[in-house]
């Protein structure tokens, strides 16, 4: 069994969103507040079938804020009250009773759904609240329900899809750890085994009370006795933990906890078809992150959902598995499966890169080296009188041979990209011919280099346009190398000195000025 797609209606920031998923790995990437965590949460809540969990979060937190505001600003009629649902469409079904037409499409399909909607049996009370002078939204009169597409109700005890949710962003939180241990416990044991175990635990507590505590009751006033706290669950949920070689995982470092939780979850893959991991990069060193990625790559039994800000995770687990989300367009997602296998494979093997920064950006300048990267913000101030960040322009340093890899992605995502590169002594061949497929056909892509072949590199162009400043900084004590030769041999160091000592007077080469004006247009 796996989740083929999710449909959200009025769930948190999503008014209406449908996202198809792959059977294997699904990597949700996006900027802050884009809704990555909300997607995982929606899957988790719907699969759990726990009213208590929804109530803990609060209906007021889950129901779309904009829809609530629109309703309260309108005529406040009962039939206009907003509702919310999450639907999980399922494939490769073994269990019967999951198919039917009880879904938003009204078509026969396999799946489950969670709905939060006004309670019809309390309509009179709801109307009375709405008619008061200073009415607030009637969240208290909403009903939470879980049902299959066949119309059968389910709950946490009769859940239809086994999932596990690892939220590494709250790894140090005791509640989150207890919740994780409980989810492992609930998926490892059948419902009958859970009841039997809890009964056994209750008997053990009663035995402790009789055999260990009774002897001290005479130290209390008449009628009082020592006892242990008791709940319907006999406190097993609170006391249960998981140990590694005799040490509770709560006593391990947060990074190791992340590793352990993921390893344990992946080992449960044959029994848990859906595993969700929130920000697996949290608390992990680069080495441990690579190990975690290896563990995830080796798993081919579970459907895995990952939300991440990590370039390493998104590229090593294949860009084609990524789903791009953007806070500016909350009801749209873009699957990066259009990236060809060769490009995806390249980024899996290439050195660390800024691919997520690139795909999430609106305007990007790709430069060829560290020197251009160091000086670009100073050039921007000179040309546009504002900083790159103020203008929403990202700068990424890329090996010049890799420019086409990025541009192939920019073509589809419509990212505005300015490539600033060297002509390497032949503008016609290295720029005009080499980038003709991008220069001629795409308005969002531009490539700039110095038009004069003799100004073959960035350093030569900078020196010729800033000879006085460069001689002032680098001419002293020149014995063997000329200033120009020194700049070519020490590119990053030279750029840093120009930035720190000559940023007020430095003149950008003309081709860089043109690129900055174009990217900001």
Please give the average per-residue pLDDT across 395-413, as a whole number: 89
Three-state secondary-structure class, residue 159: coil
Neighbours of 457 (CB within 10 A): 21
Q: Is 250's pLDDT higher than 90?
A: no
Enter the pTM of the model: 0.82
pLDDT at 230: 66
**Is the torsion defined by CA of 38, 39, 40, 46 positive or negative?**
positive
The full set of domain ranges for the chain reads 1-162+273-345, 174-270, 361-519
Q: What is the band of 189 on the pLDDT scale with cuts at 50, 70, 90?
A: confident
Q: Is 182's pLDDT higher than 80?
A: no
Q: What is the band of 378 on the pLDDT scale with cuts at 50, 70, 90?
A: very high
Q: Over the chain, what is the mean pLDDT? A: 88
Dump pLDDT digits (tens) for 282-310: 777 788 888 888 888 888 888 999 999 88
pLDDT at 170: 58
Which residues sit opposite 292 in a β-bridge? none
**Encoded tokens for 418:** 């300015």
Q: Is 187's pLDDT higher than 70?
A: no
Q: How far apart are CA 274 and CA 337, in angstroms?
A: 21
Q: What is the band of 172 on the pLDDT scale with cuts at 50, 70, 90?
A: low
Query: Into which CATH architecture does domain 1-162+273-345 fall?
Result: 3-Layer(aba) Sandwich (3.40)
**Encoded tokens for 47:** 């699969």
Strands (E) across 196-256 are located at 243-244, 247-248
Long-range contacts of 433-442 (CB under 8 A, 24+ apart): 435/403, 435/407, 438/404, 438/407, 438/411, 442/410, 442/411
Please give the average per-residue pLDDT across 481-489, as a whole number: 92
Q: Kind and range of the H or E element at 49?
A: none
Q: What is the band of 174 on the pLDDT scale with cuts at 50, 70, 90?
A: low
Q: Is 160's pLDDT higher than 80?
A: yes
Q: Is 47's pLDDT higher than 90?
A: yes
Dump pLDDT digits (tens) for 193-240: 888 888 888 888 888 888 998 999 888 888 888 888 765 555 777 778
Closest CA to 262 of 6, 272, 47: 272
180 CB-near residues (< 8 Å, 6+ apart): 164, 165, 166, 167, 261
Q: For the chain, what percent of residues have pLDDT higher than 90?
A: 55
pLDDT at 157: 84
Q: For the chain, what percent of residues have pLDDT higher than 70?
A: 93
pLDDT at 326: 83
Put residue 115 in one of left, alpha, beta given phi > 0 → left and psi -120 to 50 → alpha.
beta
Dump pLDDT digits (tens) for 331-365: 889 999 999 899 899 888 887 678 888 988 889 99
């Amino acid at each position: 069994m796996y989740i083929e797609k999710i449909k959200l209606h009025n769930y948190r920031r999503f008014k209406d969103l449908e996202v198809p998923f792959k059977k294997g790995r699904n990597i949700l990437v996006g900027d802050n507040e884009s809704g990555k965590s909300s997607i995982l949460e929606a899957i988790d809540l719907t699969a759990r079938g726990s009213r208590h969990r929804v109530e803990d979060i609060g209906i007021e937190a889950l129901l779309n804020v904009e829809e609530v505001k629109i309703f309260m600003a309108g005529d406040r009629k009962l039939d206009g009250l907003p509702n919310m649902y999450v639907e999980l469409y399922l494939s490769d079904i073994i269990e019967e009773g999951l198919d039917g037409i009880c879904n938003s499409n009204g078509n026969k399909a396999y799946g489950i759904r969670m709905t939060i909607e006004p309670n019809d049996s309390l309509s009179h009370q709801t109307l009375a609240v709405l008619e008061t002078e200073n009415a607030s939204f009637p969240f208290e009169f909403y009903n939470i329900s879980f049902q299959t597409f066949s119309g059968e109700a389910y709950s946490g005890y009769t859940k239809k899809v086994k999932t596990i949710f690892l939220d590494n962003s709250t790894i140090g939180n005791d509640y989150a750890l207890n919740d994780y241990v409980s989810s492992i416990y609930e998926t490892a044991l059948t419902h009958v085994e859970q009841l039997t175990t809890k009964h056994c635990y209750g008997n053990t507590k009663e035995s402790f009370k009789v055999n260990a505590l009774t002897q001290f009751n005479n130290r209390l006033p008449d009628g009082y006795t020592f006892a242990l706290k008791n709940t319907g669950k006999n406190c097993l949920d609170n006391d249960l933990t998981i140990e590694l070689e005799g040490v509770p995982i709560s006593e391990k470092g947060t990074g190791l906890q992340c590793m352990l939780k993921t390893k344990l979850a992946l080992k449960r893959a044959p029994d848990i078809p859906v595993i969700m991991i929130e920000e697996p990069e949290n608390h992990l060193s680069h080495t441990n992150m690579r190990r975690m990625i290896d563990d995830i790559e080796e798993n081919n039994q579970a459907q895995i959902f990952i939300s991440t800000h990590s370039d390493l995770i998104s590229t090593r687990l294949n860009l084609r598995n990524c789903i791009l989300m953007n806070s500016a367009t909350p009801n749209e997602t873009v699957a990066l499966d259009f990236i060809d296998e060769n490009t995806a494979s390249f980024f899996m093997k290439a050195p660390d890169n800024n691919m997520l920064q690139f795909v999430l950006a609106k305007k990007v300048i790709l430069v060829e080296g560290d020197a251009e990267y160091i000086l670009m913000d100073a050039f921007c101030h000179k040309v546009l009188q504002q900083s790159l960040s103020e203008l929403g322009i990202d700068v990424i340093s890329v090996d010049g041979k890799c420019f086409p890899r990025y541009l192939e992605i920019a073509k589809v995502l419509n990212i505005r990209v300015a490539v600033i590169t060297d002509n390497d002594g032949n503008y016609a061949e290295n720029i005009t011919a080499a980038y003709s497929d991008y220069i001629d056909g795409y308005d969002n892509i531009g490539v700039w280099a110095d038009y004069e072949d003799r100004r073959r590199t960035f350093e030569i162009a900078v020196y010729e346009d800033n000879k006085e400043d460069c001689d002032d900084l680098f001419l002293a004590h020149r014995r063997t190398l000329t200033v120009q030769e020194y700049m070519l041999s020490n590119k990053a160091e030279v750029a840093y000195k120009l930035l720190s000592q000559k940023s007020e007077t430095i003149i950008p080469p003309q081709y860089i000025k043109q690129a900055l004006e174009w990217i900001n247009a």
